[in-house]
Amino acid sequence: MTSNLIGRIQQHRDGTFDGFTKRYDIKRLVWFEVGETMEGAIAREKTMKKWPRDWKINLLERENPAWNDLAVGLGLEPLE
């Protein structure tokens, strides 16, 4: 969850944000959701973290079946 999606994507791409994405060298943004409020976004994230992996993959693939890097559509350069 972030209030600055572009900044967070750049942190992940640069490897300056610790956690899952740094540990597994994840650079592409393949899914995101916009929340109405910070509280709502936090609640949604907590709920989704409890979901089985296949539910998360199904959600992602409904919106982005090719797993394209959505950061490009937000104005960031494509990854090499």
Q: Residue 5 has what pLDDT?
A: 95
Reduced to 3 states (helix: H, G, I; strand: E, B; else coil), residue 76 is coil
Q: Say if CB 69 and CB 29 are below 8 A apart.
A: yes
Question: Is residue 70 packed enough to be buried (19+ CB in 10 Å), middle (13-18) or exposed (0-12)?
Answer: middle
Q: Say if CB 38 and CB 3 are below 8 A apart.
A: yes
For 27, 28, 42, 76, the CA distances from 80, given in Å and listed in that order, are 11, 11, 32, 12
Please report, for the chain, the start and end positions of each structural domain, with discontinuous segments joined by +: 5-74
Q: What is the pTM of this model?
A: 0.85
Q: What is the pLDDT along the chain (80 residues), one digit of tens a residue?
A: 899 999 999 999 999 988 999 999 999 999 999 999 999 999 999 999 999 999 999 999 999 999 999 999 999 999 98
Segment 12-31, tens digit of pLDDT: 999 998 899 999 999 999 99
